[in-house]
Amino acid sequence: MNCCNSQRTLNDQIQMNLGYSALEEVKDCRYESVTSQLFKKQNEEITSQLSVFQERLIAFAKEHNNDLKQNPDLKIKFLRMCSRIGIDPITLFDRQRHLFDVNDFYYEICLKVIEICRITKDLNGGIISFEELLEGFPTAKIAMEDLEKSVDMLQTLNGGFDIILIKGKKCLRSVPTELTSDQTKILEVCSVLGYASASLLRVNLGWTQYRSNAILEEMVAIGLLWIDEQAVGETLFWDPAWIHHSDIGI
């Protein structure tokens, strides 16, 4: 503040330094940086406190495993506390030690599966392969068998989750509309090159141009396929599952 006043007269200077207005000016200039520093500090402190708290919670869960198993009320409260401070309940489970009731582990996976389906629905039209599902989990502790078992449990909900087989590969369908056999066949064709087209369908399935286009366009409309109008010769229809394949050959 001080060195910019070199041109001021002495009186100004005294007023500057002693008057209330000086305080105001200093306030203006310094408040912002002080508050931001303060917030940053608080943030850091809270983060570190939280992480310590999280560790403790996990330790607590391991120690009082039996209590948690036998007392559902305690268990619910505990899990609610975990989720409130940002611990993914899945990280709390340990299959070897059967932390909590072992079924809870699968319930948590179910929840996560539903979440992944919901997030990716707008990209893939609601059909997702099991491999892709598995990639969405925060820890590597989840094995494919766990996932499959959980999805089996999901199906008992009758909530519109369905396992479909596309060329022997398991996929989960999270939209309520049932796939027609024609649509399934197209997805099967897609699983080879990533895309389908009228000519591919004619060669492989013997479909007419009219039938192919009608079904393909319908699948684009419901978001199961992405349209690609720049391919040489004809329009291609891509399966969004191939978004994550980096080795696309045209």
**Interface residue list for other proteins (CB under 8 A):** 1-7, 10, 13-14, 25, 28-29, 32-33, 36, 122-123, 125, 195, 220-223, 226-231, 236, 238, 240, 242-246, 248, 250
CB of 24 to other proteins, least distance (A): 10
What token pair was written down for 20?
């209330």
- The nearer residue to other proteins, 31 or 63, going by C-beta atoms, is 31
Compare residues 28 and 145 and give the one whose CB is closer to other proteins. Answer: 28
Q: Shortest Cβ distance from residue 5 to other proteins (Å)?
A: 8
- Closest to other proteins by CB, 198 or 236: 236
Which alpha helices (DSSP H) does the chain contain, by range? 10-18, 20-63, 65-70, 72-84, 89-92, 102-124, 130-135, 144-155, 181-193, 198-205, 209-221
Give min distance, CB of 160 to other proteins, in A: 18
The residue (of 56 and 244) whose beta carbon lies closer to other proteins is: 244
Instruction: Give the strand order in the sheet containing 236-238.
Output: 195-196, 236-238, 226-228
In 3D, which of 155, 132, 94 has the Cα closest to residue 245?
A: 132
CB contact at 8 A, 170 and 163: yes
Residue 85: half-sphere exposure toward Cβ, Cα within 13 Å: 18
Place of tokens 């909530």: 159
137, 131, 65: which is closest to 95 by C-alpha? 65
Residue 10 CB, nearest approach to other proteins (Å) = 6
Whole-number minimum distance, CB 248 to other proteins, in Å?
5
| Amino acid sitting at position 51 | S
